[in-house]
């Protein structure tokens, strides 16, 4: 959606090229080495700020090799349980986990993924013992959760909403500052006393370092304009996402806070991914 709009606004052909592998490191490394002319950009997600703590030999520096352009959107996480889990609230889940330590499985999209670290944050905040089980991506984890092989998961609404509506998954809390617009009756973790549980999958746009300020500013302005249109805002809201926008400096500050936030979590659980 962003690419289509940029193409029209800039009168340029915008090619979306997927470079999978190594939690986004291959794609990021390609952009870090690209010419700083504004023609090669990176769609960065939450793992961008986490990778330096868990991956070895990353071929770039997240703080110095990129020029932040804009924080596009965030998909706040929601905690869900399989419908057969006897817990109708976060308090119920905590009580159940403490009564049966190690009996409940926490599914995630993989070791070091944002859903994994969100689960570790919850375990630390509440003192419960949940057994982490990593999968190869959110879809596989959600399938196992719906089938009853897993009991608990934190993930974004695009992965969970269909199963919440069908009743196969029960939402317990939203990991966002405000209540999720798609589940307005669902309390937030902050309302329940866990303010640190403000977690989601964020998406932003970066350019190679030393990209001219005029280029960064132009791209920032165009995408901010896009995010203000009703069509785009409604599209994101329908997915349970928050539209962010703002300045390059605000995005840079946000990413720096994300690194500061997740570093201690990774260190505490001793996580390393080869």
Mean pLDDT of each 10-residue bin along the chain, 274 residues long: 87 89 88 96 94 89 96 96 97 97 95 93 94 94 97 95 96 93 94 94 97 97 94 89 95 93 88 70
Cβ atoms within 10 A of the Cβ of 213, count? 9
For the domain that residue 127 is a member of, what is the CATH number? 3.40.190.10
pLDDT of residue 92: 97
Q: How far is Cα of residue 92 from the mean position of the Cα atoms in its chain?
A: 26
Structural domains in the chain (count): 2
3-state secondary structure of 126: helix
Question: Minimal CA–CA distance to 109: which of 90, 85, 137?
Answer: 137
Same domain assignment for residues 234 and 204? yes
DSSP assignment of 147-170 equals HTS--EEEEEHHHHHHHHHHTSEE
Asked whether the whole model's pTM tops 0.75, one would answer yes
Same domain assignment for residues 146 and 128? yes
Instruction: Say how far apart CA 100 and CA 116 lie, in whole Å.
Output: 21
pLDDT of residue 172: 98
Same domain assignment for residues 155 and 112? yes
Domain membership of residue 182 (yes or no) is no
3-state secondary structure of 172: strand
Query: What are 26's two structure tokens?
Result: 């291959």
| Structural domain boundaries, residue 105 | 75-175
3-state secondary structure of 1: coil
Domain membership of residue 193 (yes or no) is no
pLDDT of residue 273: 67
Query: What are 191's two structure tokens?
Result: 């309302």
3-state secondary structure of 76: strand
Residue 205's H or E segment, with its range, is strand 200-208
Instruction: Say how far apart CA 14 and CA 169 lie, in whole Å.
Output: 38
For the domain that residue 8 is a member of, what is the CATH number? 3.40.190.150
Domain membership of residue 186 (yes or no) is no
pLDDT of residue 22: 77
């Amino acid at each position: 959606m962003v690419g289509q709009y940029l193409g029209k606004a800039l009168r340029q052909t915008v090619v979306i090229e997927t470079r999978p592998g190594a939690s986004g490191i291959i794609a990021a490394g390609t952009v870090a080495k690209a010419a700083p002319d504004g023609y090669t950009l990176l769609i960065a997600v939450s793992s961008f700020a986490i990778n330096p703590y868990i991956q070895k030999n990353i071929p770039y520096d997240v703080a110095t090799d990129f020029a932040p352009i804009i924080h596009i959107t965030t998909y706040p996480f929601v905690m869900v349980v399989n419908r057969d889990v006897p817990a109708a609230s976060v308090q119920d889940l905590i009580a159940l986990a403490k009564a049966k330590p190690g009996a409940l499985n926490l599914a995630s999209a993989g070791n070091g993924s944002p859903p994994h670290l969100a689960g570790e944050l919850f375990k630390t905040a509440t003192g419960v013992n949940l057994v982490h089980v990593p999968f190869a991506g959110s879809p596989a984890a959600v399938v196992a959760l719906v089938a009853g092989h897993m009991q608990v998961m934190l993930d974004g609404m695009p992965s969970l909403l269909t199963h919440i509506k069908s009743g196969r998954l029960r939402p317990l809390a939203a990991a966002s500052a405000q209540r999720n617009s798609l589940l307005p009756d669902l309390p937030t973790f902050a309302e329940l006393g866990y303010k640190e549980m403000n977690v989601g999958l964020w998406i932003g746009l970066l350019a190679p370092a030393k990209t001219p300020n005029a280029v960064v500013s132009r791209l920032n302005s165009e995408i901010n304009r896009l995010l203000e249109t009703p069509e785009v805002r409604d599209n994101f809201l329908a997915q349970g996402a928050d539209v962010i926008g703002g300045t390059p400096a605000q995005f840079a500050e946000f990413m720096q806070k994300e690194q500061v936030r997740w570093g201690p979590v990774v260190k505490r659980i001793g996580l390393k991914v080869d």
